[in-house]
């Protein structure tokens, strides 16, 4: 079964809109785990417009499943990850001020840099994953960095799938096949939803984990958080 890690950035966005503690981020993370979620993902950005660095520290003692911290490995982020010691760190090449992630790493051009960052986290027994596009050269480059896993950037698939283009899965199948051959663990995320997750899961061999936030929280407004978490778990079997 592919694990479901729930990204709670949107809960923090809603909380920050009013300046108080409603909704309570820590309670939501606790409830997601109680409902069956197998991980909690956060993606703090330098401006802390949703997840704050202190949230990562506060979440650490209550996340008993898998704690995944995503972000661009700049100095403050590196320090935060080493302090919090999550299960996994996912390196994402976000530009400062980016609304959301828009591309994977160029693992060839950034190979030396990524290798250095990955070795630093692995020295502290933190599993590493790097965000990549479904390109074979990027998968091969990822292997050379020494990373434990890759996270396939699934926006292109999700968009095309919504238009009825099922062939959009093909680059991801090829990328997963190569990753499996290279013994790289496979995660995936970005715009995965109840509409497309089962098709994606059924076609991607060796898919270990998906990280889902925006769609899951949006769907929960209509269907309820506990119900939606369990709907994902059923589709990921």
Binding residues for 3-amino-2-oxopropyl phosphate: 7, 18, 191, 213-214
Write out the two tokens for 209: 């984990």
* Residue 76 CA: distances (Å) to CA of 22, 36, 44, 46, 53: 27, 32, 10, 8, 9
Is residue 209 part of the annotated active site? The answer reads no
Please give the C-alpha separations between residue 96 and each of 47, 83, 92, 93, 100, in angstroms, as whole numbers. 8, 22, 12, 10, 10
Annotated binding site for 1-deoxy-D-xylulose 5-phosphate: 45, 50, 100
Is 159 catalytic? The answer is no
Half-sphere exposure at residue 143, Cβ-oriented, CA atoms within 13 angstroms = 14
Q: Write phi, then psi, for 211 (nearest 5 degrees).
A: -115, 120
Q: Is 70 a catalytic residue?
A: yes
Give the DSSP letter string of 165-189: -GGGGHHHHHHHHHHHHTT-EEEEE
Closest Cα to residue 64, out of 87, 88, 43?
87
The residue annotated as part of the active site, out of 43, 66, 209, 219, is 43
Residues forming the annotated binding site?
Answer: 7, 18, 45, 50, 100, 191, 213-214
Cα separation, 44 vs 49, whole angstroms: 8
Is residue 44 packed enough to be buried (19+ CB in 10 Å), middle (13-18) or exposed (0-12)? Answer: buried
Set 66, 151, 190, 219: catalytic member: 190
Residues 6+ apart with CB under 8 A from 206: 176, 179, 180, 185, 186
Which residue among 70, 151, 209, 219 is the active-site one?
Answer: 70
- Any idea which residues carry the catalytic annotation? 43, 70, 190
């Amino acid at each position: 079964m592919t694990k479901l890690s729930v990204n709670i950035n949107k809960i923090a966005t809603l909380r920050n809109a009013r300046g108080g503690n409603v909704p309570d981020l820590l309670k939501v993370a606790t409830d997601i785990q109680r409902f069956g979620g197998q991980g909690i993902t956060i993606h703090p950005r330098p401006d802390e417009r949703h997840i704050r660095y202190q949230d990562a520290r506060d979440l650490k003692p209550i996340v008993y499943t898998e704690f995944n911290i995503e972000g661009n490995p700049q100095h403050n982020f590196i320090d935060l990850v080493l302090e919090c010691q999550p299960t996994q760190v996912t390196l994402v090449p976000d530009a400062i001020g980016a609304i959301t992630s828009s591309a994977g790493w160029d693992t060839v051009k950034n190979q030396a840099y990524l290798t250095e960052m990955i070795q630093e986290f692995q020295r502290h027994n933190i599993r590493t994953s790097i965000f990549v596009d479904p390109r074979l050269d990027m998968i091969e480059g990822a292997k050379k960095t020494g990373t434990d896993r890759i996270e396939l950037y699934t926006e292109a698939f999700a968009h095309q799938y919504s238009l009825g283009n099922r062939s959009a899965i093909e680059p991801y199948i090829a990328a997963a096949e190569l990753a499996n051959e290279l013994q790289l663990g496979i995660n995936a995320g970005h715009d995965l939803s109840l509409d497309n997750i089962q098709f994606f899961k059924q076609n991607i061999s060796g898919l270990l984990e998906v990280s889902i936030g925006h769609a899951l929280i949006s769907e929960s407004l209509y269907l309820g958080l506990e119900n939606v978490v369990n709907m994902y778990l059923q589709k990921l079997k």
